[in-house]
Amino acid sequence: MTDLPPTPPRGIDIARVQAAVLELLEAIGDDPRRAGLTDTPRRVAEMYGEFFSGLGVDAADLVARSAVPAAPGELGDVIVVRDIEFRSVCEHHLLPFLGVAHVAYSPAEVIIGLGTIPRLIDAVASRPQIQERLGEEIADALVAGLSPAGVLVVLDASHGCVTSRGSRQARSTTVTLASRGTFDTTAGRAEALALIGSPRL
């Protein structure tokens, strides 16, 4: 089976991206007609189509459409999904940052399928971002779509703008935390963080 190029997301002008990459290659003094670069504008445009496919996605609606009323005994006190791999692109230098997300929420009346949380993270991460806002937007989408008692989002990521340029700290990572509701308290946050860090069975 032949792999077809991905369909560009709505709003991404692939032809303009290709033209911009061509101009960029010329601006840095290289020859975009040489063998190694002839397909680079197309490749970058397709890559950007993937990287920025979350633009225009309503993250709260994505959550709400997956929400289902919980039967008695199904709610639980805290639901934690951890070690969710994600990638995003830093809006300051358009370099990728890669990491893992840990999400905890305390349901009120509804729950979501566990696969919705990685899809939510991917949608919000697939747009020009900064890590601090990424965590806040994930938390806000869960609050808007679920109305839970509490939400906690922890992101741990390695940034290309730190590892590959400037200070070049190849092993450095950045950790951010966004909390809502019951996890805004010291005790609630500590409980969720203990679950995230607990040993695997």
Residues labelled catalytic:
90-93, 131, 159, 161
Secondary structure E strands in the chain: 68-69, 79-90, 96-106, 110-111, 128-129, 150-159, 174-181
Q: How far apart are CA 40 and CA 44, in angstroms?
A: 6
Q: How far apart are CA 192 and CA 141, in angstroms?
A: 19
Element (H, E) at 133: helix 131-146
Both structure tokens of 31: 């020859």
Q: How far apart are CA 173 and CA 192, in angstroms?
A: 21
Both structure tokens of 132: 């601090």
Both structure tokens of 4: 């077809």
Count of CB atoms within 10 A of residue 128's CB?
14
